[in-house]
Amino acid sequence: MEKSLGTVVITGAAGRVGSAMRAGLRAEAERLVLVDRVGLCARSPTEEVRQFDLRDAEAVTAALEGADAVVHLGGVPDEAPLPELLDGNVRGTHNVLEGARRQGVGRVVLASSNRLTGFYPVSENVTPEMPPRPDGLYGVSKVAVEALGRLYADKFGLSVVCLRIGSFEDAPTERRHLATWLSPRDCLGFVRAALTAPGIRFTTVYGVSANTRRFWDIDAGKALGYTPVDDAEAFASRVPPEGRSADDPLQGGAYADAEYTLRHV
Catalytically annotated residues:
138
Asked if 146 and 116 count as a contact pair (C-beta separation under 8 A), the reply is yes
Cα–Cα–Cα angle for 201, 190, 80, nearest 5°? 90
- Cα 93 to Cα 70: distance, rounded to the nearest angstrom: 11
Cα–Cα–Cα angle for 95, 148, 122, nearest 5°? 125
- Cα 253 to Cα 246: distance, rounded to the nearest angstrom: 8
Which residues, 6 or more positions from 144, have their beta carbon under 8 angstroms from its beta carbon? Answer: 86, 89, 90, 93
Asked if 126 and 135 count as a contact pair (C-beta separation under 8 A), the reply is no
Dihedral angle over CA of 127, 212, 179, 235, nearest 10 = -160
